[in-house]
Amino acid sequence: MKIEGIELRRVTMPLKTPFRTSFGVEHSRDVLLVRVVTPYAEGWAECVAMNEPRYNSEYVDGAADVLRRFLVPALPDDVDARTVGRLLAPFKGHRMAKAALEAALLDAQTRAGGESFGAFLGAVQDRVPSGVSVGISDSVGELLDVVEEFLAQGYLRIKLKIEPGWDVAPVRAVRERFGDDLLLQVDANAAYTLADAHHLRRLDDFGLLLIEQPLADDDLVQHADLARRIATPVCLDESIDSAEHAAAAISLGSCSVVNIKPGRVGGYLEARRIHDLCRAHGVAVWCGGMLETGIGRAANLALAALPGFTLPGDTSASDRYYATDLTAPFVLSDGHLTVPSGPGIGVDPLPDVLEDVTSSTEWIAR
Average pLDDT over residues 102-117: 98
- Residue 352 pLDDT: 97
Contact between 342 and 328 (Cβ < 8 Å): no
Average pLDDT over residues 108-134: 97
Domain match, 104 and 32 both: yes
Q: Tell me how far CA of residue 218 lies from CA of 139, 248, 251, 352, 354, in angstroms.
A: 32, 12, 16, 43, 38
DSSP codes, 284-327: EEEE---S--HHHHHHHHHHHTSTTB-S-BS---GGGT-SS-SS
DSSP codes, 126-193: SEEEBEEEEPPPSSHHHHHHHHHHHHHHT-SEEEEE-BTTBSHHHHHHHHHHH-TTSEEEEE-TT---
Residue 68 has pLDDT above 90, yes or no: yes
Question: Domain of 18: which CATH number?
Answer: 3.30.390.10
Listed residue (194, 150, 188) closest to 17, CA to CA: 150
pLDDT digit string, tens, across residues 203-252: 999 999 999 999 999 999 999 999 999 999 999 999 999 999 999 999 99
Domain match, 189 and 309 both: yes
Domain match, 206 and 128 both: yes
- Residue 20 pLDDT: 82
| CA–CA dist 200, 233 (Å, integer) | 12
Domain match, 282 and 162 both: yes
- Residue 60 one-letter amino acid: V
Domain match, 80 and 167 both: no
Q: How confident is the model at residue 340 (pLDDT cuts 50, 70, 90)?
A: very high
What residue numbers bound the domain in which 84 lies? Answer: 5-114+349-365
What is the three-class DSSP state of 214?
Answer: coil
pLDDT averaged over every residue in the chain: 97
Domain match, 181 and 168 both: yes
Domain match, 101 and 123 both: no
CA atoms within 13 A on the CB side of 97: 23
- Residue 202 pLDDT: 98
Q: How many percent of the chain have pLDDT more than 90?
A: 96
pLDDT digit string, tens, across residues 4-13: 999 999 999 9
Sequence-separated contacts (24+) of 242-250 with Cβ below 8 Å: 242/266, 242/270, 242/274, 243/270, 243/273, 243/274, 243/277, 245/220, 246/274, 246/277, 246/278, 247/277, 248/220, 249/220, 249/223, 250/277, 250/278, 250/281, 250/283
Q: How confident is the model at residue 27 (pLDDT cuts 50, 70, 90)?
A: confident
- Residue 218 pLDDT: 94
Domain match, 177 and 259 both: yes
Domain match, 254 and 107 both: no
N-term to C-term CA, the chain: 13
CA 346 to chain centre: 18
161 is catalytic: yes
Question: Domain of 269: which CATH number?
Answer: 3.20.20.120
Listed residue (276, 311, 317, 315) closest to 299, CA to CA: 315
261 is catalytic: yes
Domain match, 60 and 129 both: no
Tell whether 229 is covered by a domain: yes
| Alpha helical stretches, state H, 213-309 | 220-229, 243-252, 262-265, 268-280, 294-304
DSSP codes, 161-176: E-BTTBSHHHHHHHHH
- Residue 73 one-letter amino acid: P
Annotated active-site residue in 2, 16, 159, 161:
161
How many other CB atoms sit within 10 Å of the CB of residue 181? 7
CA 179 to chain centre: 28
Tell whether 343 is covered by a domain: no
Tell whether 174 is covered by a domain: yes
- Residue 366 pLDDT: 86
Average pLDDT over residues 177-183: 97
Tell whether 231 is covered by a domain: yes
* Buried-exposed string 239-274: b where 16+ CB fall within 10 A, e elsewhere: bbbebebbbebbeeebbbbbbbbbbbbbbbbbbbbb
Domain match, 215 and 247 both: yes
Residue 23 has pLDDT above 80, yes or no: no
pLDDT digit string, tens, across residues 311-338: 999 999 999 999 999 999 999 999 999 9
Annotated active-site residue in 16, 92, 98, 261:
261
Burial class (CB in 10 A: 0-12, 13-18, 19+), 326: buried
Domain match, 50 and 163 both: no
Residue 18 has pLDDT above 90, yes or no: no
| Count of structural domains within the chain | 2
Tell whether 239 is covered by a domain: yes
Containing 86, the helix (H) or strand (E) segment is helix 84-88
Residue 259 has pLDDT above 90, yes or no: yes
Residue 22 has pLDDT above 80, yes or no: no
